[in-house]
Chain A
Amino acid sequence: MRNRNLILILTVLVAAFLVAGCGQMRQLTQAEKDRLDNIAGMLEMAEAKGAKECAPKEYAVAKADLDSARLECTQSWEKCNAGEKPAAEGLKAQQSIDALFKALQVCEDKKKIPTCGLVAEPDTIAPGKCAMLKWSGENVETIVMGPDEKAKGAEKLPLSGLREVCPKVTTDYQMSCVGKYSTNYETATVTVAEPKVVAPPPAPAPVVVAPAPVVKKELALRVNFDTAKWNIRPADLAELQKGVQFLKDNPGAKIHIVGHTDSRGSEKYNQGLSEKRAESVKKYLEGEVEIKPDQITSEGKGESEPIADNKTKQGQFQNRRVMITIK
């Protein structure tokens, strides 16, 4: 009798668990399926447009919310269809769409690269004289004097302006142009030099016909990259075009391209990234001007040869570079 009671209780418990478990599941209606599939389609389109790369966080949130919405729909009709009512807040499907739109917006904003124009006029002055710094920014949120926009006491400047500077010695003036998602840096140098004394013309020397000196032509260029990226930034196209023009003028010149990274990330990853950066510049040049395969070489040196301090943002930016030598 006792055993029978026990079996009965156990059976009831198992049945209750089963019912509770099955009660959670419901079949999706066609409209619900369509709605979720539409969001999945939008996600695919956004991925094709590069949202995964340019807005990884927002894209991941949208995807996770969509999966969460699918689960929610199998659990409750009310939650699944709340979107059809005006008060759709809290609905996972709606959250997914919101995150997706945010991802697309972030991608659009990231295309807007902050750029600054900074010039010193004149760029060479006599001791005790002054020069004028002129600057203006595009797609920038703030402009800060100095190489580190987050440094304590960093001076914020208007988005365009003029400033008189009277350096005693040759000075580099650096400016951080802070955009919504990235920062660019500009430098203007004011050289302080003694004015040249105009010497009287020397007595005419006897004319000796000498062979014309051989002028060795060489061009060194540098382009920088965004973090973990190897695509060429629009801001660097002008620099690369100098190389293209040089190659057009000197068709047989040899080109050597070396890619570098900052110190963040593993050594192995940075090695691969530096090679991709070098390769990306090589492809650009090959696309612009005819280059024979034996004329061009490229290599990556990873994080092994920094030229600036990897602890500061500007230093990292300077280290994320490709050096191009054409001779």
Chain B
Amino acid sequence: MKRPWVMLCAIVLCAGLVAGCATANSIQSARKQLEAADKAGAKWSAPHEMFAAEEYLKKAVMEAEEGSPRADVDLFLKKSLDYSAKALQSTKGGAK
């Protein structure tokens, strides 16, 4: 009789863990992209994009720590990734 409860708890726990890890992974990959842009010298070629990527990443981390919905975290993460990509692009194109 108690089995369904155990099963349900296990599923909910797993779902929670998976969701939590997914957020942590997304933050990690945004951070890596930002670091790559920094190493490529984007701070000089696209300072605004670099600072924007950094700020949006901070916001994403803050939202994640506050336990905000995944969509809110993703909103900021996407912006951070977009800005990092732009910053990285500027180091390749040499046009600022």
Q: Do A and B bind each other?
A: yes
Q: Are B94 and A266 within 8 A (Cβ)?
A: yes
- When C-beta atoms are compared, the residue in chain A nearest to B92 turns out to be A268
User: Nearest chain A CB to B3's CB is how many angstroms away?
Assistant: 8
Q: What is the size, in residues, of chain B's interface with A at 8 Å between Cβ atoms?
A: 32
Q: Are A273 and B94 within 8 A (Cβ)?
A: yes
Within 8 A of A (CB), among B5-63: 8, 12, 40-41, 44-45, 47-48, 50-52, 54-56, 58-59, 63
Please pick, from A24, A57, A265, A270, the residue contacting B51 in the complex, using a CB distance under 8 A: A57
Please pick, from B58, B69, B95, B96, the residue contacting A21 in the complex, using a CB distance under 8 A: B69
Contact with B along A255-278 (1 / 0, CB 8 A): 000000000111011111100000
Q: Are B48 and A265 within 8 A (Cβ)?
A: no
- When C-beta atoms are compared, the residue in chain B nearest to A63 turns out to be B52
Within 8 A of A (CB), among B52-91: 52, 54-56, 58-59, 63, 68-69, 72, 75-76, 79, 90-91
- Rounded to whole angstroms, the CA-CA distance of A24 and B68 in the bound complex is 9
Interface residues on A, range: 20 to 34
Please pick, from A60, A71, A227, A271, the residue contacting B75 in the complex, using a CB distance under 8 A: A71
- Rounded to whole angstroms, the CA-CA distance of A60 and B46 in the bound complex is 12
Q: Are B94 and A56 within 8 A (Cβ)?
A: no
- Rounded to whole angstroms, the CA-CA distance of A270 and B95 in the bound complex is 9
- Rounded to whole angstroms, the CA-CA distance of A6 and B2 in the bound complex is 11
Q: Are A60 and B8 within 8 A (Cβ)?
A: no
B interface majority secondary structure? helix
Q: Are A269 and B55 within 8 A (Cβ)?
A: no
Which residues of chain A are near B95, meaning CB under 8 Å?
272
Q: Are A53 and B48 within 8 A (Cβ)?
A: yes
- Rounded to whole angstroms, the CA-CA distance of A211 and B39 in the bound complex is 63
- When C-beta atoms are compared, the residue in chain A nearest to B45 turns out to be A269
Q: Are B52 and A64 within 8 A (Cβ)?
A: yes
Which residues of chain B are near A9, meaning CB under 8 Å?
4, 8
Q: Are A266 and B41 within 8 A (Cβ)?
A: yes
Which residues of chain A are near B41, meaning CB under 8 Å?
264-266, 269
- Rounded to whole angstroms, the CA-CA distance of A9 and B51 in the bound complex is 47
- Rounded to whole angstroms, the CA-CA distance of A95 and B85 in the bound complex is 26
- When C-beta atoms are compared, the residue in chain B nearest to A262 turns out to be B44
User: Nearest chain A CB to B78's CB is how many angstroms away?
Assistant: 11
Residue from B40, B69, B76, B96 with most neighbouring chain A CB atoms (10 Å): B96
Please pick, from A10, A60, A271, the residue contacting B52 in the complex, using a CB distance under 8 A: A60
User: Nearest chain B CB to A318's CB is how many angstroms away?
Assistant: 17
Please pick, from B44, B50, B58, B69, the residue contacting A24 in the complex, using a CB distance under 8 A: B69
Using known A-B contacts A67-B76, A269-B44, determine if residue A61 contacts B51 with beta carbons closer than 8 Å. Answer: yes
Interface residues of B (CB under 8 A from A): 1, 4, 8, 12, 40-41, 44-45, 47-48, 50-52, 54-56, 58-59, 63, 68-69, 72, 75-76, 79, 90-96
Q: List 14 A-B contacts (CB under 8 A).
A: A2-B4, A9-B8, A10-B8, A56-B48, A56-B50, A60-B51, A60-B54, A64-B56, A71-B72, A265-B91, A266-B91, A272-B94, A272-B95, A273-B94
